[in-house]
Chain A
Amino acid sequence: MNFASEKRAIIIAGLGIGMLAALLVLAGNPANMGFCIACFIRDTVGGLGLHRAGAVQYIRPEIIGLLLGSFILSLIRHEHAAKGGSSPLTRFVLGFFVMIGCLMFLGCPFRMILRLAGGDWNALFGLAGFAAGIGIGVIFLRRGYSLKRTYALTKLEGAVMPAIQIVLLVLLLAAPAFIFFTKAGGGPGAQHAAVFVSLGAGLLVGALAQYTRLCMVGGIRDFILFHETKLLMGFAAIFVAALLVNVAAGNFHPGFAGQPVAHTDGLWNFLGMWLAGLGCVLLGGCPLRQLIMAGEGNTDSVITVLGLACGAAFAHNFALAASGAGPSDNGKVGVMVGIIVVLIIAAVNTFRSQKA
């Protein structure tokens, strides 16, 4: 696949993914939330009872599908390789604070695009913060930031995370008493497409994202680094497809106030996504990309996903997550602490590399 065909593939994949995301809303997912990696990991963590926010508890089949879709396609293409060992605990901490940033904004970079495609202009502040955070991350990359190399691991290591997804799917379908479900009408957790529709969409998007390496962070990062627009085209294609479906379905409501699962505090929308953007550059990919790489056998990405999950549990157990009413005081402190911690991680791992 040369660069031209890579670009064509990523545009086609982006159009398909954007359309699927908008259709999932018509099938029952929350508005402007056909896919949201941060929200869906948060919901899954709630479904497992690791936080007790009753409005957001549901084991999301989309997450299971994304990871398994990547796992299956990487096996077929002989690209599945168990590897890890690149500063795992640092990645856990970065994942944790990326989630804190996302839950301040109320969405991951993927949902940021879907919010824009639904007419939620608050996401423009998020997009500005996201791009600014990536810009700062690129400065560290250029000056030598590195979390050091990965190493080959046993095949079993690469199979554990997909196996966990099967367990989660069984728990969702069997619905034992210890698994939590948001009560009907009780919040976004109660809004979902049928299990196998969500799972199928997840599998398809997971495979497409594995094939094309679609990454919300990579698009802006590569544009700044190389003036390369390939990944950015995927970003744009998702927006265009979701926008067209939303307009056709009457789900396009432009404005700031009254947007679904969103608040109007521009400063904290900006700062939340600034934190997410910087953290993701340091991790080497957005939350979607982390799930895809976890499916390919990268245990560093698995650790990152666990960090995202832990961040989601903390965010709801300690009132860090924002809501439609706006950011909480705890959330503001969480984001500021996150910005400081992530900058320290960036500086230390840049300085260390320069000395080596």
Chain B
Amino acid sequence: MYYIATFYSHFGAIRFKKEASDGIMAPCLMPVPRRLSSSCGTCVRFEGPADFTFTQDDSGEVEQIVRETDTGYMCIYTTQE
């Protein structure tokens, strides 16, 4: 399964890629897809298991993580305001 993580800053994306935790495979930086957001920042697309979960963001930089589906995206994590 493919996932996309969006961030509050470009640095957040770089850090996420560099410090990729268990279950995150082949992370790559790319512009945030338009369908996902009207913001034009940097996201990380990565491969992960079907049951991939993300519950704690120690960096405070992750905005949301979505799973790619046939019809679009399914949100699996969003930051608490």
Same assembly? yes
Q: Interface on A for B, CB 8 Å cutoff?
A: 1-3, 6, 9, 74, 77, 79, 86, 141-142, 144-152, 210, 212-213, 215, 218, 222, 225-226, 228, 230-231, 284-285, 289, 296, 353
**Complex alpha-carbon distance, A141 and B9, angstroms:** 9
The answer, yes or no, to whether B27 is at the interface (CB within 8 Å) is: no
7 closest A-B pairs by CB: A149-B8, A146-B9, A146-B11, A152-B81, A79-B38, A213-B40, A144-B11
**Complex alpha-carbon distance, A176 and B22, angstroms:** 65
A1 CB contact (under 8 Å) in B12, B14, B33, B39: B33
Q: Please state if B11 and A6 are interface contacts (CB–CB under 8 Å).
A: no
Q: Interface on B for A, CB 8 Å cutoff?
A: 8-12, 14, 29-31, 33-35, 38-42, 60-61, 63, 81
A282 CB → nearest B CB, Å: 11
B41 CB → nearest A CB, Å: 7
Given contacts A152-B81, A222-B31, A225-B42, 13 further A-B contacts (CB under 8 A): A2-B35, A79-B38, A86-B8, A141-B10, A144-B14, A146-B12, A149-B63, A151-B81, A226-B29, A226-B30, A230-B31, A231-B31, A296-B38
With both beta carbons as reference points, the residue of chain A lying nearest to B59 in the complex is identified as A356
**Complex alpha-carbon distance, A145 and B14, angstroms:** 11
A9 neighbours in B (Cβ, 8 Å): 34
With both beta carbons as reference points, the residue of chain A lying nearest to B37 in the complex is identified as A79
**Complex alpha-carbon distance, A147 and B29, angstroms:** 19
B8 CB contact (under 8 Å) in A150, A215, A222: A150
B60 neighbours in A (Cβ, 8 Å): 149
Given contacts A152-B81, A228-B30, contact A145 B38 (CB under 8 A): no
Identify whether the interface residues of B are mostly helix, strand, loop, or mixed: loop
B29 neighbours in A (Cβ, 8 Å): 225-226
Q: Please state if B40 and A353 are interface contacts (CB–CB under 8 Å).
A: no
A-B contact pairs, 25 of them (CB 8 A): A1-B33, A2-B33, A6-B34, A74-B38, A77-B38, A79-B38, A141-B10, A141-B11, A144-B11, A145-B9, A145-B10, A146-B8, A146-B10, A148-B9, A149-B61, A149-B63, A150-B8, A213-B38, A213-B39, A213-B40, A228-B30, A228-B31, A231-B40, A289-B40, A353-B9
**Complex alpha-carbon distance, A314 and B12, angstroms:** 35
A228 neighbours in B (Cβ, 8 Å): 30-31
Q: Please state if A1 and B35 are interface contacts (CB–CB under 8 Å).
A: yes
**Complex alpha-carbon distance, A31 and B65, angstroms:** 47
A3 neighbours in B (Cβ, 8 Å): 33
Q: Please state if A210 and B38 are interface contacts (CB–CB under 8 Å).
A: yes
**Complex alpha-carbon distance, A146 and B42, angstroms:** 12
A353 CB contact (under 8 Å) in B11, B34, B63, B81: B11
B42 CB → nearest A CB, Å: 7
A291 CB → nearest B CB, Å: 14
B12 neighbours in A (Cβ, 8 Å): 146
**Complex alpha-carbon distance, A77 and B9, angstroms:** 24
